[in-house]
Amino acid sequence: MLARQHDRSGRAALDLLDHIDRIAHARHLGRLADLALAWRLHVLLDQPPSPAIDALVARTGDEARFAHALSQPQVWRFLAALGFALARWHRLGGRTRAALAVLQGVEAACMLADNQVHLARVRARIALVLHDRGESAVALPYLRHALQHVVSTQAWQCVLELGVPGKALLRMARQRDPQAAPNTTLAMTIQALLDKLRHDQDSGADLFSERELEVLALLAQGDANKQIARRLALSENTVKFHLKNLYRKLEAGTREAALASALQRGLLQRAAPPDCALE
């Protein structure tokens, strides 16, 4: 988690996981190797879609491996890590029913083990998937449980780890949950979470000029340097100057890494392509 936050391109996290893999295999630590595999999937899911993600899912053993983990309560860390990763993979692919099935398996295991931390985490994720499916009323009790856990433990990360998609979920709860009336503890907790998510998203964008954000938006559309220059009425050298600054600020060495980092920071939503008559 810390490596992902420090370097949003994913390079630092993947380097760390390579190191963990080497230790696990050298010392024959099978459970650690399994965990590293699940964590690697989490990191790749932060990046733009690629065949490497599906290949890694196949390496993990997907649902078959997850079903086996469900029958082994002693490997609950791997169960949660793989379950959350698989559910996110399904959700991002639009397979919400499959995502729910995986998360409900994790939920049942957490209830059986009385693991309250992971129960709050999984119910926040269930709420997110149900909200994606348009089942907001059904999502509310799941989210409320996660929020009550945050209130009692100050474990903000249980909800914050949902990232930007969690903002719409929290706003929905603020509007529709009768227990989140103004000035209630639940309402104040929702607002505090929204503020934290907004700060995480906005703090990165403040580092970039308006022109850099325009270049970034066109870069995300797949435009080449010459196209960007034409659309923004700039010289190609000026575009290269802005790209150099973007790569430095995004801690990236390639276009793909820059876009992955920008996506993680929420910059691509703020960097709307400029209206331009030079089409």
Hey, what amino acid is at 273? P
Task: Place 177 in a pLDDT band, splitting at 50, 70 and 90.
Answer: very high
Q: List helix spans (H) across 46-115.
A: 51-60, 62-70, 76-92, 96-113
The distance from CA 19 to its chain's CA centroid, rounded to whole angstroms, is 23
> Residue 248: which residues within 8 A CB-CB, separation 6 or more?
none
Would you say 183 and 192 are in contact if contact means Cβ atoms under 8 Å apart?
no
Which amino acid type is present at position 193? Answer: L
pLDDT score of 278: 41
- This prediction has a pTM of 0.72
pLDDT at 7 over 60: no
Cβ–Cβ < 8 Å for 94, 135: no
* For residue 205, pLDDT beyond 70: no
pLDDT computed for residue 270 by the predictor: 44
Question: Domains in the chain, start-ordered, CATH in brackets?
Answer: 19-202 (1.25.40), 210-265 (1.10.10.10)
pLDDT in tens, 45-68: 877 777 888 899 998 887 888 888
User: What pLDDT score was predicted for residue 271?
Assistant: 46
The confidence score (pLDDT) of residue 124 equals 98
| Mean local confidence (pLDDT), 99-128 | 96
For the segment 213-265, what is each residue's pLDDT rounded down to a tens digit?
Answer: 889 989 988 889 999 998 888 899 999 999 988 888 776 777 887 888 788 77
pLDDT at 118 over 90: yes
74-81 long-range contacts, CB within 8 A, separation 24+: 75/31, 75/34, 76/109, 76/110, 76/113, 76/115, 76/118, 77/31, 77/35, 78/31, 78/34, 78/35, 78/38, 79/106, 79/109, 80/106, 80/110, 80/118, 80/121, 80/122, 81/35, 81/38, 81/39, 81/42
Say what the pLDDT of residue 121 is.
97
The amino acid present at 139, given as its one-letter code, is A
Which range has the top average pLDDT, 4-18, 53-67, 76-90, 249-263? 76-90
The pLDDT of residue 2 is 46
Structure confidence at residue 105 (pLDDT): 96
Band of pLDDT at residue 8, cut at 50, 70 and 90: low
Q: How many CA atoms lie within 13 A of 63 on its CB side?
A: 10
Give, for 176, the enclosing helix (H) or strand (E): helix 165-176
**What integer is the mean pLDDT of 37-43?**
91
Q: How confident is the model at residue 202 (pLDDT cuts 50, 70, 90)?
A: low
Model confidence band, residue 272 (pLDDT cutoffs 50, 70, 90) = very low
What is the Cα–Cα distance from 25 to 180, expressed in whole angstroms?
A: 49
